[in-house]
Structure formats: structure tokens, C-alpha cells
Amino acid sequence: MAMQKIFIREILDSRGNPTVEADLHTAKAAVPSGAQTKPTTWEPRISQKFGASAILGVSLAVYKVGAAEKGVSLYRHIADFAGNPDLILPALAFNMIIGGSHAVNKLAMQECMILPVEASFFKEAMRIGAEVYHHLKGVIKAKYGKDATNVGDEGGFAPNILENSESLELLKTAIQAAGYPDKVVICMDVAASEFCLNGKYDLNFMSRDDPLYKSFIKNYPMISIEDPFDQDDWATWTSFLLGVDIKIVGVANPKRIGQAVEKACSCLLLKVNQISSVTKSIQGCKLAQSNGWGVMVSHRSGETEDTFIADFVGLCTGQIKTGTPCHLECLAKYSQLMRIEEALGDKAIFAGHKFHNPKASEKLEAPGLHWTDPGLLNLLPEINTGANQIKREKETRGWRLR
């Protein structure tokens, strides 16, 4: 299937911020954005020249065209490229209560989530997540009033509470009210880099010796904590990892994985727009899995209706977080995963409580980049022109990406 034309247009994400969508022959793909934008030293050489958003949009579209050319589903195409003969549907990390940069409240920690890991199949996990979400709304309304049930980015509730333990109590109460204390566990995204300035934390509990995190682990069914410390605070990460028996999630770019494998983490957070291409996302996933890590596929807080990350089921990561079961940009991904489960039929496998290592890890060679395709290289000047036009329009209109 010849790639004759690429067209990049400006669209808006779920927060009303501009992003890009790429049409490649018969395929199109839209790029998400995030609230956390701390600089990183890793960027593909090609993205430095043409812009990460434009390149990612094209990368997503290239994979869709590749699947169409082979006559297979997108998730099967990704699985083949990753070397996975079998497919495993991921455990779901539903974002229930939000704070930090995702909400206008006093809660410092960014996300409190649930995982229905003891569900028997994916669709049951979806149902459990939705039921807990609705019970949580009732719990919050009864305690704080109707106004407290307003939602923020990704659809999570944003009650104006201060104590992080209070959000965990609300979750625990909702899980029990829904009748699933034996099927649901809790995880958190602290996003500690958001309140670390010049190497010092704004919050006084952020230290390796502070008992707060350990009290969470002791008092709640806590299964993992994401970004508990600043991304460059390796010493504290290492000390904390050695002292707990839950999964520590962090690191979104492959160059930092090698450093973190030896020092700090046990699970990769895979955000395709931070890595900048699908191929490099697959590389990062394989690298993490080959070192015995878990992998959690993640959306961004500024999302589109594109369902591509649902098709990352082909990577057999075992976990995905893509918001609450209410916002349309989130539901698009969940609905696609349910379609995939239906299409797989008897071959559908749900990661469930094996989410950290749903398949035996193998020392596989990560696939190489495929930007040498002559048809694609010939189109790069056109990609660059479209990306620059979008940049100029943003500057003219005074829009700012958060």
C-alpha cells in the first residue's frame, strides 16, 4: 500500500488545547497531551527536526496503514511487531479521585485509582469499575454535598479535601458499598515532581524515612504507587523500593529505564506521546519486560477520541490506565478493549491479578526503527510544513499547551 500523501490538521483535545491529527492515505490518528511537561534530555533525533507531535501522529497512522495492508487488526499488527503470538487483555486502573495539576482542589496527590484485579474477564472488570465509580459519587455526595461531585481532568471526582488519606478512605468505603472488597485493589499516582522545586519538596512528608506511604500500604489494599518521589531523586527511590513489597511505577522514556532498573522502579509507565513514536514505545516496553518489570500503558490528561492505546493490548503489558468510566475520550478506549475481547472469543485472556507479569518475560531484541522507508522520508518536508503551520497558528491565537 503506497503512502502518497500525509495531511496534518489541528484539532482540540479533551481540555480544549490544540493538538494534531495526521491523515496518512486511509488512516488517521490524533495525538494526546499531558499536564506534566518537565523537560527531559531524551528525544529522537527525527523529532528534534520535525516536532514530536507531528512525528507521533504520523507514526500512529503508519501502524494503522500497516495493519490495513496486512489485512489484520491493529492490535494483531502491534503484537506481531512486538513478537507476541498471544494477546492478554490488561487489568484496568480506573482514576476515581484526582488532585494536583488535574484538579482545582487542595489534594496534593494527583490520582487515586482502583484495579478490579480479581475479575474473571475484562468485561466484568469494566462493570465493577463502573459500579464503584457510581457508589463513590454517592459516598462523596452524602459526606460533602452535591457540589463535591464535580469532576476534573479524566473524569475523576475532585472533592475539596486536604488529606490524602481521606481520599483513600472514600475509595475504601465505595468499594465496600459496591460489594467488591475482595475483588478490587488501590493504586496511586503521586506525581511528586510537580511539587519538587530545586531539589526540595514543597510537602513535608516527602522523605525516604517518612511513614506516610508505608501507612497507606498497611491500612489500604495498596498494590502500587506511581512517581512517589521526584524523577531525579534516585537515592530516595532506591531506599523506598527496598523497604516495600508493592510495585513502584515510574520512568516514561527508554534511556532512563536502564538507570531505573538498577536503582529505583519495578514498573514502566508507557506514555506513547512522551516517547514520541510507536516503534520506540514498543522498544521501551520490551526493554522493561526483559528486565522483569511490569508495564502500565497510560493515556494523558489531555486526550482525544483516538483509541490507539487500547490496541496496545498487543504488547501484553497487563495494565492500562485511561481515566474514568464516564468521559467520552476515556470510554472510547474502554469500548475498543471490550470489542477486542469479543473478537478474541475463547482466546481472550484477562491479566487480572497477574497484571504485573502476565506472560513469561523473555530477553527479546527490541525492534529497530523503521523511519528509513523511502515513501515516508520523501514526505517528511510536508510533515514539517504542516507542523510549523500549526505552531504559527498557536502563537498567533495566543494558545498555550499545558
Residue 207 pLDDT > 70, yes or no?
Answer: no
Which residues, including other chains, have CB under 8 Å from residue 95's CB and lie 6 or more apart?
111, 112, 113, 154, 155, 156, 321, 323, 324
* 240-252: pLDDT as tens digits: 888 888 888 876 6
Read off the pLDDT band of 127 (50, 70, 90). very high
pLDDT at residue 257, rounded to an integer: 67
Determine the Cα–Cα distance for residues 362 and 93; give it in Å rounded to an integer. 25
* 248-299: pLDDT as tens digits: 887 666 666 666 666 667 888 888 877 778 888 898 888 888 888 889 998 7
* 91-354 placed in CATH 3.20.20.120: yes
Least confident of 74-83, 180-189, 260-269, 309-318: 260-269
Residue 109 pLDDT > 50, yes or no?
Answer: yes
189 belongs to an annotated ligand binding site: yes
Beta-sheet pairing, 267-270 with 18-24: unpaired
Determine the Cα–Cα distance for residues 156 and 168; give it in Å rounded to an integer. 14
Residue 365 pLDDT > 50, yes or no?
Answer: no
Residue 132 pLDDT > 70, yes or no?
Answer: yes
Greatest CA separation for the chain: 61
Phi, psi of 340 (to 5 degrees): -65, -45
The three-state secondary structure class of 351 is coil
pLDDT at residue 367, rounded to an integer: 38
Which residues, including other chains, have CB under 8 Å from residue 226's CB and lie 6 or more apart?
111, 187, 188, 189, 190, 191, 248, 249, 250, 269, 296
Which triple of cell numbers denotes residue 113?
Answer: 485509582
What does the domain layout of the chain look like in residue ranges?
A: 6-73+368-397, 91-354
Residues labelled as active-site residues: 154, 271
* 319-332: pLDDT as tens digits: 999 888 888 888 99
Residue 347 pLDDT > 80, yes or no?
Answer: yes
What does each C-alpha distance from 23 to 8, 9, 54, 57 come to in angstroms? 6, 8, 11, 8
Residue 103 pLDDT > 70, yes or no?
Answer: no
Determine the Cα–Cα distance for residues 370 and 367; give it in Å rounded to an integer. 9
Q: Which of 38-52, 205-219, 283-297 has the highest mean pLDDT?
A: 283-297
Determine the Cα–Cα distance for residues 19 and 10; give it in Å rounded to an integer. 6
Read off the pLDDT band of 238 (50, 70, 90). confident
Cβ-contact 350, 122 below 8 angstroms: yes
